[in-house]
Amino acid sequence: MNTVTTLFRSALLATALIAAPALADGPIADRGEAVERAHFERDRETILSMAGNYKVRFDMQESTPWMEGYEPLDRKISGGYESVRVIEDTGTRIVLQHLLVVGEEGEEFVIKHWRQDWEYEPEKILAYTGPNTWEWMEVPERLRNGRWSQTVYQVDDSPRYAGWGEWQDSQGIRRWRSNWTWRPLARRDAVRDPIYDRYAAINRHQLTPTGWIHWQDNTKMMPDPASKDGLKSVVQEYVLNTYDKFDAYNVAAADEYWEATKSYWKAVRAKWDEVAEANNGITIAEEAQTGTVISGRLLTIANEIKSGELSEADGIAEAQGLIAEATAPRAAEMAEVAQAGGEY
């Protein structure tokens, strides 16, 4: 498929997913200044309450096949310990950084995990629109009132997916549900080289008596030139990540890692933001094992800064250079050719 066709289909798919489900929800009527303020403060309290120390259970299950002959994968359950920290709070924007603590007692090490940014009544979101591509998508003005966007970032602070929705109370449960969003394959799928290459998904967050859950409803999709939008549904997947409050692990390791590397990661975030604004989005090649092609090195730089092998200034300079190079025009296309063993 040529580049023009890919971009055209990406635009069609992005428009369809961004617009339709949000319109189904409809605008939130003006509730008056006092009520709006109360809802806003309650929402902030809910988002901030997701910070803390947790024992996490990751439960992934392919369920209903949508394509004849496809056999759903067996259920996969894993887990670990995760510290979630508030690293930015401007009032209308809250950033939560997840830090995964793994390894045997006395030999623990920290993996910078995913990040979630919450923004109140956003004008636009950085949405996944197809292979290697994230673009700014406008949130329709009439649908912004009272809603929060959630943008999820990968371990190297490159974007993963974004959506928006309203925090609500129903059946006595505090919950948030996104619009439909596109998202790239998670590593658990990408490493298997499956027939599908993306998810169409709804994202949910709900508070529980012992913490919160992150519930994903994923339709796994594959390219299909014969269909109108170029895609075919393969199988449904349900992902339930449960965060239960727990601090009987080496919490200090997470905080020590973040204290040593937070300035570096702040500079990395700023560079990604700069690229996204300058280019109306981000285009960067991905690979199954690491996410973006520069993810492994960006994480290693952080470890080298923490250990003293590399100065913070040199680490930041290298990281900014890597991001600039990997997101330059046609860089993703050239990287894919190189990965395939061809010549550009």
Give the Cα separation of 339 and 292 in Å (integer).
12
Residue-level pLDDT at 207: 97
DSSP letter at 342 equals -
Structure tokens at 56: 């996490």
Residue-level pLDDT at 339: 58
Average pLDDT over residues 292-316: 98
Residue 64 pLDDT > 80: yes
Residue 340 pLDDT > 50: yes
Residue 327 CB-density burial (10 A; 0-12 exposed, 13-18 middle, 19+ buried)? buried
Average pLDDT over residues 283-297: 93
pLDDT in tens, 148-181: 999 999 999 999 999 999 999 989 999 999 999 9
Residue-level pLDDT at 4: 42
pLDDT > 90 in the chain, percent: 80
Give the start-to-end residue ranges of the domains of the chain: 3-250
* Three-state secondary-structure class, residue 74: coil
pLDDT in tens, 89-140: 999 999 999 999 999 888 899 999 999 999 999 999 999 999 999 999 999 9
**Separation of CA 55 from chain center:** 20
pLDDT in tens, 208-217: 999 999 999 9
DSSP letter at 92 equals S
Residue-level pLDDT at 104: 86
Residue 3 pLDDT > 50: no
What global pTM score does this model have?
0.90
Average pLDDT over residues 20-40: 75
Residue-level pLDDT at 5: 43
Residue-level pLDDT at 337: 53
Residue-level pLDDT at 27: 82
Instruction: Kindly list the distances between the CA atom of residue 183 and the CA atoms of 40, 124, 128, in Å, as whole numbers in the listed order.
Output: 28, 17, 6
Give the Cα separation of 323 and 282 in Å (integer).
10
Q: What is the CA radius of gyration of the chain?
A: 20
pLDDT classification of 290: cutoffs 50, 70, 90: confident
pLDDT in tens, 32-58: 889 899 999 999 999 999 999 999 999
pLDDT in tens, 176-187: 999 999 999 999
pLDDT in tens, 260-282: 999 999 999 999 999 999 999 99
pLDDT in tens, 244-257: 999 999 999 999 99
